[in-house]
């Protein structure tokens, strides 16, 4: 009889709980998580984003772009068809990049193309970028993973190269340092080996990644210093080679080996005060893609780049395209008005153009992200407003644009990517897994390649008299609300 008593008591409790929930449901918020700015004390986020949010005056720009036809002026005698803002891709502003690809395709032995891919946690551990790199190298050739920083939060999870380092490196990042003791490198970091008690070291080993089974032409990049005593002990197998550092220029290079190697270790001796940036690995042919990812980055820290230092980097690396893939961290602030971000990133991209004159720029929007509404995961209400703001500053800065949100399926697509079998995204409904990252890289490559094929078709139709480069590479002046 006691069993029946317990059963009826338990059943009554369940009924009471269900009734209470139904009664109070009308008073619960539709969105379970707060839309206010989160407590950033324990969140890795860049300081410039926090400043921008704090200074946000809630001024809403009058959007004059939505119904405008975007008409381009010719570049190199080529003009892409007019576009609507809704479908804007901006292939016109990638013509210099496409021309370099064309020269590489027609003369592969004497040309090369380089891409700098800046991103946040979406590209952590070489995610997305490693697959985009492989896609380009499959078609155009090239070996090597490109530029790799001295230290990295994602080194342990990166599969395209084995990357180990000592824990005593002094690191300054553009994420949280506005005035570094020495200018940041192209990777947004600067490192110092100023531990007098213990040697700072770094070790690289090539894995079995496609087109990166060896460390091709390993080269150290470092900055200017009055310290002329610094050395690097390079250990390859059982051999140790001592190489001197000569930090005379803004950006200096030191070739670790004239040949490709499988692995090496580098010990930095008496190198205190010498800015160390990272190592580059490439064979000098085909396409090379550098991954400059940084968790918590909004893109705004790029505005702290020193133009002279960046131009020095560019003279050695020779970039043809810069990709800015941000937005994940900007979505965390519960706003649907991204005028402040549009305004700040417009200045940032223009500053980047000063740092890398003549280099084409591509803006990749935020992907879909899901948030719980009424106990159901749906596309976050801030995703579309943010992608619109990103499209605005892409257009205003004459940059190409990839709407990653629509490319992956639009509304509700992140839920599908998480819940389908096999899944292509993680249970945080924000980040892709390796399967999803590969898919995203394929989508990015497909859109860029579509533009390239259209460029080649337009190039064939170009009249001889139109081959002279045009000084004007813009859109109708009345079509942009500055």
119: left (phi over 0), alpha (psi -120 to 50) or beta: beta
Tens of pLDDT, residue by residue over 27-47, are 444 443 333 433 433 334 566
By the 8 A CB rule, do 404 and 440 touch? yes
Provide the 10 A C-beta neighbour count for residue 464.
7
What single DSSP character describes residue 38? Answer: P
The domain that contains 271 carries what CATH number?
Answer: 2.60.120.260
Instruction: Return the pLDDT at 59.
Output: 46
Cis peptide leading into 422, omega within 30 of 0? yes
Q: What is the pLDDT along the chain (482 residues), one digit of tens a residue?
A: 444 555 556 555 655 655 555 554 444 444 433 334 334 333 345 666 656 665 664 544 455 566 678 999 999 999 999 999 999 999 999 999 999 999 999 999 989 999 999 999 999 999 999 999 999 999 999 999 999 999 999 999 999 999 999 999 999 999 999 889 999 999 999 999 999 999 999 999 999 999 999 999 999 999 999 999 999 999 999 999 999 999 999 999 999 998 899 999 999 999 999 999 999 999 999 999 999 999 999 999 999 999 999 999 999 999 999 999 999 999 877 678 999 999 999 999 999 999 999 999 999 999 999 999 998 999 999 999 999 999 999 999 999 999 999 999 999 999 999 999 999 999 999 999 999 999 999 999 999 999 999 999 999 998 765 544 444 444 443 333 33
| Residue 158 to residues 43, 135, 164, 323, 462, Cα–Cα distance (Å) | 22, 18, 11, 20, 44
- Residues 35, 86: one domain? yes
φ, ψ (nearest 5 deg) of residue 392? -65, -50
Domain termination site, one of 262, 283, 304: 283
What single DSSP character describes residue 93? Answer: G
- Residues 258, 374: one domain? no
Residue 359's contacts (CB-CB under 8 Å, 6 or more residues apart) are 96, 314, 319, 320, 321, 322, 353
For residue 243, the enclosing domain spans 153-283
- Residues 337, 268: one domain? no
Tens of pLDDT, residue by residue over 171-196, are 999 999 988 999 999 999 999 999 99
Residue 148 is assigned to a structural domain of this protein: no
| DSSP 3-state of 383 | helix
Residue 21 is assigned to a structural domain of this protein: no
Domain termination site, one of 283, 299, 324: 283
- Residues 136, 160: one domain? no
By the 8 A CB rule, do 96 and 358 touch? yes
φ, ψ (nearest 5 deg) of residue 336? -115, 5
* Cα 378 from Cα 412, distance rounded (Å): 6
- Residues 312, 438: one domain? yes
Residue 20 is assigned to a structural domain of this protein: no
Quote the strand ranges of 303-459, DSSP E: 321-325, 360-364, 370-373, 376-379, 400-402
Instruction: Return the pLDDT at 20.
Output: 53
Residue 13's contacts (CB-CB under 8 Å, 6 or more residues apart) are none
Q: In Å, how far from its chain's centre is CA 98?
A: 20
The domain that contains 60 carries what CATH number?
Answer: 3.40.50.1110
Domain termination site, one of 283, 316, 332: 283
Residue 136's contacts (CB-CB under 8 Å, 6 or more residues apart) are 113, 115, 142, 286, 287, 289, 445
The first and second tokens of residue 375, run together, are 């106990």
- Tracing tokens 């008690």 back to the chain, one arrives at 197
- Tracing tokens 């290079």 back to the chain, one arrives at 253
* Cα 374 from Cα 357, distance rounded (Å): 49
- Residues 127, 256: one domain? no
Whole-prediction pTM: 0.86
* Cα 479 from Cα 69, distance rounded (Å): 7
Tens of pLDDT, residue by residue over 276-329, are 999 999 999 999 999 999 999 999 999 999 999 999 999 999 999 999 999 999
- Residues 256, 298: one domain? no
- Residues 310, 176: one domain? no
Total of domains in the chain: 2
- Tracing tokens 């599908």 back to the chain, one arrives at 416
* Cα 374 from Cα 377, distance rounded (Å): 8
Q: Which residues on neighbouring strands pair with residue 201, listed in sequence order?
A: 267
Provide the 10 A C-beta neighbour count for residue 166.
17
* Cα 346 from Cα 460, distance rounded (Å): 34
């Amino acid at each position: 009889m006691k069993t029946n008593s317990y059963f009826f008591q338990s059943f009554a409790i369940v009924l009471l709980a269900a009734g209470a929930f139904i009664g109070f449901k009308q008073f619960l918020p539709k969105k379970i998580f707060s839309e206010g700015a989160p407590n950033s004390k324990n969140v890795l986020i860049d300081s410039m984003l926090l400043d921008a949010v704090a200074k946000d005056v809630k001024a809403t720009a009058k959007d004059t772009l939505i119904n405008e036809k975007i008409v381009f002026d010719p570049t190199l005698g080529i003009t892409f068809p007019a576009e609507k803002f809704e479908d804007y891709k901006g292939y016109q502003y990638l013509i210099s990049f496409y021309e370099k690809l064309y020269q590489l395709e027609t003369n592969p032995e004497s040309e090369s193309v380089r891409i700098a891919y800046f991103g946040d946690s979406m590209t952590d551990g070489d995610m997305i970028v490693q697959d985009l790199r492989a896609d380009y190298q499959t078609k155009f050739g090239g070996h090597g993973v490109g530029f790799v920083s001295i230290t990295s939060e994602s080194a342990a999870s990166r599969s395209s190269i084995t990357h180990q380092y000592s824990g005593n490196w002094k690191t300054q990042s553009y994420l949280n340092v506005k005035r570094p003791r020495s200018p940041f490198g192209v990777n947004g970091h600067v490192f110092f080996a100023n531990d007098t008690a213990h040697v700072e070291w770094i070790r690289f080993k090539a894995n079995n990644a496609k087109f990166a089974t060896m460390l091709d032409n390993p080269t150290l990049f470092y900055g200017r210093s009055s310290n002329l005593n610094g050395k690097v002990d390079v250990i390859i197998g059982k051999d140790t080679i001592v190489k001197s550092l000569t930090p005379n220029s803004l950006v200096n290079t030191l070739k670790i080996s004239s040949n490709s190697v499988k692995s090496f270790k580098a010990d930095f001796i008496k190198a205190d005060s010498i800015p160390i940036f990272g190592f580059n690995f490439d064979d000098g042919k085909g396409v090379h893609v550098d991954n400059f990812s940084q968790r918590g980055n909004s893109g705004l820290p790029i505005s702290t780049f020193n133009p002279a230092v960046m131009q020095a980097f560019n003279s050695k690396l020779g970039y043809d395209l810069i990709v800015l893939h941000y937005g994940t961290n900007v979505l965390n602030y519960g706003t649907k008005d991204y005028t402040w971000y549009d305004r700040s990133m417009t200045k940032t991209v223009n500053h980047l153009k000063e740092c890398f004159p003549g280099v084409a720029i591509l803006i990749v929007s935020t992907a879909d992200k899901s948030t719980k509404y009424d106990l159901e995961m749906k596309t976050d209400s801030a995703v579309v407003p943010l992608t619109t703001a990103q499209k605005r500053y892409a257009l205003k800065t004459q940059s190409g644009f990839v709407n990653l949100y629509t490319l992956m399926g639009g509304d509700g697509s992140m839920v599908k990517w998480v819940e389908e079998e096999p899944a292509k995204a993680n249970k945080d409904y924000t980040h892709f897994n390796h399967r999803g990252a590969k898919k995203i890289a394929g989508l990015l490559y497909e859109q860029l390649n579509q533009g390239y094929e259209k460029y080649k078709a337009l190039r064939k139709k170009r009249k001889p008299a139109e081959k002279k480069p045009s000084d004007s590479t813009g859109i109708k002046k009345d079509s942009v609300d500055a």
